[in-house]
């Protein structure tokens, strides 16, 4: 059989691609350590969305979140040999992301802020107010809009509570993994998650009374389930 | 149980972190407290909302990442020295510099000794010279002719360090002594054979080889950089888009 070089490459690609999808994250990173770029592509496919979602909720700016997601993945590739299987791969990658986020936020806080002459409401007292569905009954809260409202609410949780909260609620890391990522004591992790949940509940409380929002939430969940089934 | 404690335990219970006996106590409290039940429902709904509103990345993310990664690797390859040129450690590096400096110094001394010496000869004592043997300690006797006669028949330089002393004493010295005391020249024969033109040509050969070696090293580094560029191009654009002209 006389395959062209491109065809040979594709065939090899397909074969290895099938194998890689079945591997654990920890096995993939071992392959990356051996110089396998396809294994790295698989890691990117698995983590890019999770990382972006986590980082965006921390930094609030999509461009910065995109940038930091790329930076995290590049660091994973470049420093792959530093990974040892004493911790789960997800713990390691979220540690890198968390450190990058912290550095970015620290740099941001050092920048001088412009003071407004109009007094703004206290951040902690601000409550997220969803649009009133009774004003236009035909219009529910769209998914994007709901996302913005939640992003707004999340950003009002103080950073020290937000990191463990998001790692638990969105990334579903265990308490021990969050302890490793943040370097906090286990008791502190527990209490911070509890406080953040309480804070988040206060912030979204008005939304939870909104029937159309709950309907919208169910629609979003059904769509997400459909996407998962298709994959 | 107070509601404050129950809500603390609720958070742990949602994450399966609550011990079994406390789970039972919490359930008892929830059966009796509608506010804490509502609190639990809010936490569950909050979690659902967070999961449902995860943001999506743009489609171009992966190729942008790939491009950035290739650029990073290319940059790293450009900055890194070739492995065989990299010293294995600080001491190795120090010795390398020391070795190079020593070799250059030695080459300079030899060049001066060979080409700048007056008459190209090493001064030796003349017949009838009034100076004592200790003045010529840098020379050692060479036995020839009559053994154990006590007569010096020839002399060779004892070591290279005394070259500077030779320079000081060279003035006024004309010819070395010979076995028969006739004052015949000592330039030919055994004791000056170490300074023949052959050594000079060896040094020149070594020097030429070193220059050639440096040139080859430079070429190897150049081709390594070119190889990295090709690999990066191959990864990003594919085989058909290799910029061979630019690389050359």
Kindly indicate the confidence band of residue A178, based on its pLDDT and cuts at 50, 70 and 90: very high
How far is CA A179 from each of CA A138, A186, A187, A193, rounded to the nearest angstrom?
A: 46, 6, 9, 12
How many Å lie between the alpha carbon of B58 and the closest alpha carbon of chain A?
Answer: 9
Percent of chain B residues topping a pLDDT of 90: 4
Per mean pLDDT, which range of A67-81, A82-96, B7-21, B229-243 is the poorest? B229-243
In the predicted structure, residue B247 carries a pLDDT above the cut 80: no
B49 touching A (Cβ < 8 Å): yes
Q: Which residues of B197-218 are buried (b: 16+ CB within 10 A; e: fewer)?
A: eeeeeeeeeeeeeeeeeeeeee
Alpha-carbon span A91 to A80, nearest angstrom: 14
Closest to B126 measured CA to CA, from B113, B139, B145, B115: B139
Helix residue ranges, H only, chain A: 5-21, 25-33, 37-59, 62-78, 89-110, 143-155, 159-169, 175-182, 186-208, 211-230
In the predicted structure, residue B125 carries a pLDDT above the cut 80: no
> Under an 8 A CB cutoff, do B69 and A74 touch?
yes
pLDDT of residue A69: 94
* Virtual torsion, Cα B76, B81, B83, B84, nearest 10 deg: 170
Closest to A77 measured CA to CA, from A103, A47, A105: A47
Q: Dihedral sign, CA of B62, B68, B69, B74? A: positive
> Under an 8 A CB cutoff, do B43 and A201 touch?
yes
> Under an 8 A CB cutoff, do A201 and B8 touch?
no
Mean pLDDT of A188-211: 88
> Under an 8 A CB cutoff, do A74 and B235 touch?
no
Q: Looking at beta carbons, which residues of chain B come within 8 Å of A10?
A: none
Mean pLDDT of A205-212: 79
> Under an 8 A CB cutoff, do A170 and B50 touch?
yes
How many Å lie between the alpha carbon of A74 and the closest alpha carbon of chain B?
Answer: 6
> Under an 8 A CB cutoff, do B65 and A44 touch?
yes
Q: How many residues are present in chain A?
A: 231
Mean pLDDT of B165-176: 43
pLDDT of residue A101: 93
pLDDT of residue A191: 92
A 173-202 near B (Cβ less than 8 A): 175, 190, 193-194, 197-198, 200-201
How many Å lie between the alpha carbon of B86 and the closest alpha carbon of chain A?
Answer: 20
> Under an 8 A CB cutoff, do A201 and B65 touch?
no
Alpha-carbon span A17 to A38, nearest angstrom: 7
In the predicted structure, residue A99 carries a pLDDT above the cut 90: yes
How far is CA B114 from each of CA A210, B122, B157, B204, rounded to the nearest angstrom?
A: 101, 10, 14, 13
Tokens linked to B152 = 């010096």
> Under an 8 A CB cutoff, do B53 and A168 touch?
no
Percent of chain B residues topping a pLDDT of 70: 54
Whether A72 contacts A100, CB under 8 Å? yes
pLDDT of residue A198: 92
pLDDT of residue A60: 85
Q: Where are the domains of chain A?
A: 17-109, 130-231
pLDDT of residue A110: 73
Token pair 């990003």 in the structure block, residue: B236
pLDDT of residue A55: 92
In the predicted structure, residue A159 carries a pLDDT above the cut 70: yes
pLDDT of residue B221: 86
Query: A17-109 maps to which CATH number?
Result: 1.10.1740.10
In the predicted structure, residue B248 carries a pLDDT above the cut 60: no
pLDDT of residue A163: 92
Q: What angle do the packed helices A25-33 and A89-110 form, to 10 degrees?
A: 80
Tokens linked to A31 = 């392959």
Q: How many CA atoms lie within 13 A of B174 on its CB side?
A: 5
Tokens linked to B183 = 């004052």
> pLDDT (tens digit, 9 = 90+) per residue, A2-18?
333 333 334 444 445 55
pLDDT of residue B168: 43
Highest mean pLDDT among A125-134, A181-190, B85-94: A181-190
Tokens linked to A128 = 């997220």
In the predicted structure, residue B209 carries a pLDDT above the cut 90: no
How many Å lie between the alpha carbon of A221 and the closest alpha carbon of chain B?
Answer: 6
Alpha-carbon span A132 to A139, nearest angstrom: 10
Q: Looking at beta carbons, which residues of chain A come within 8 Å of B74?
A: none
* Virtual torsion, Cα A63, A69, A73, A74, nearest 10 deg: 30
Q: Looking at beta carbons, which residues of chain B come within 8 Å of A168?
A: 15
Per mean pLDDT, which range of A57-66, A98-107, B120-129 is the poorest? B120-129
Alpha-carbon span A59 to B46, nearest angstrom: 20
pLDDT of residue A73: 94
In the predicted structure, residue B179 carries a pLDDT above the cut 60: no
pLDDT of residue B244: 59
pLDDT of residue A155: 87
How many Å lie between the alpha carbon of B223 and the closest alpha carbon of chain A?
Answer: 22
Token pair 């011990």 in the structure block, residue: B19
Mean pLDDT estimate for chain A:
78
Kindly indicate the confidence band of residue B123, based on its pLDDT and cuts at 50, 70 and 90: low
> Which one of 1.10.10.10, 3.30.390.50, 3.30.70.20, 1.20.59.20 gives the CATH number of domain A130-231?
1.10.10.10
Mean pLDDT of B183-202: 49
Mean pLDDT estimate for chain B:
69
pLDDT of residue B172: 40
Whether A122 contacts A197, CB under 8 Å? no
Per mean pLDDT, which range of A94-98, B18-22, B158-162 is the poorest? B158-162
Mean pLDDT of A67-88: 89
Mean pLDDT of B168-195: 42
Mean pLDDT of B192-197: 44
């Amino acid at each position: 059989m006389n395959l062209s070089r491109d065809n040979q490459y594709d065939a090899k690609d397909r074969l290895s691609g099938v194998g890689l999808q079945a591997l654990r994250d920890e096995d993939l990173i071992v392959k990356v350590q051996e110089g396998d770029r396809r294994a790295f592509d698989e890691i990117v496919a698995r983590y890019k969305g999770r990382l972006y979602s986590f980082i965006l909720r921390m930094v609030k700016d999509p461009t910065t979140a995109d940038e930091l997601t790329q930076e995290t993945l590049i660091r994973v590739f470049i420093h792959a040999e530093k990974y040892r299987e004493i911790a789960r791969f997800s713990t390691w990658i979220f540690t890198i992301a968390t450190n990058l986020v912290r550095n970015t936020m620290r740099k941001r806080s050092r920048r001088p802020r412009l003071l407004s002459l109009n007094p703004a409401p206290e951040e902690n007292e601000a409550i997220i107010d969803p649009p009133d569905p009774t004003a236009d009954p035909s219009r529910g809260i769209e998914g994007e809009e709901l996302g913005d409202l939640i992003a707004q609410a999340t950003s009002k949780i103080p950073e020290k509570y937000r990191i463990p909260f998001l790692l638990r609620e969105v990334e579903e890391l265990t308490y021990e993994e969050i302890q490793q990522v943040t370097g906090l004591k286990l008791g502190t992790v527990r209490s911070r998650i509890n406080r953040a949940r309480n804070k988040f509940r206060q912030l979204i409380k008005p939304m939870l009374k909104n029937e159309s929002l709950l309907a919208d939430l169910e629609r979003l969940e059904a769509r997400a389930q459909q996407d998962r089934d298709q994959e | 149980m107070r509601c404050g404690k129950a809500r603390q335990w609720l958070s742990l219970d949602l994450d399966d972190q609550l011990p079994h006996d406390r789970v039972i106590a919490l359930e008892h409290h929830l059966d009796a407290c509608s506010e804490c039940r509502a609190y639990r429902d809010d936490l569950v709904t909050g979690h659902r909302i967070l999961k449902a509103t995860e943001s999506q990345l743009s489609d171009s993310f992966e190729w942008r990442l790939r491009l950035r990664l290739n650029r990073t690797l290319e940059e790293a390859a450009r900055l890194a020295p070739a492995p065989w040129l990299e010293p294995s450690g600080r001491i190795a590096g120090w010795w390398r510099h020391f070795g190079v400096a020593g070799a250059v110094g030695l080459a300079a001394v030899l060049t001066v000794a060979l080409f700048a010496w007056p008459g190209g000869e090493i001064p030796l004592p003349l017949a009838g010279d009034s100076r004592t043997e200790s003045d010529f300690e840098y020379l050692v006797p060479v036995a020839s002719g009559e053994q154990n006669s006590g007569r010096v028949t020839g002399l060779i330089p004892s070591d290279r360090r005394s070259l500077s002393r030779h320079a000081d004493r060279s003035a006024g010295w004309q010819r070395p002594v010979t076995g028969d005391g006739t004052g015949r020249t000592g330039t030919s024969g055994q004791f000056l054979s170490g300074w023949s033109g052959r050594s000079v040509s060896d040094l020149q050969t070594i020097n030429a080889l070193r220059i050639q070696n440096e040139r080859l090293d430079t070429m190897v580094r150049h081709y390594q950089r070119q190889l990295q560029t090709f690999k990066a191009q191959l990864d990003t654009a594919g085989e058909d888009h290799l910029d061979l002209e630019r690389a050359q």
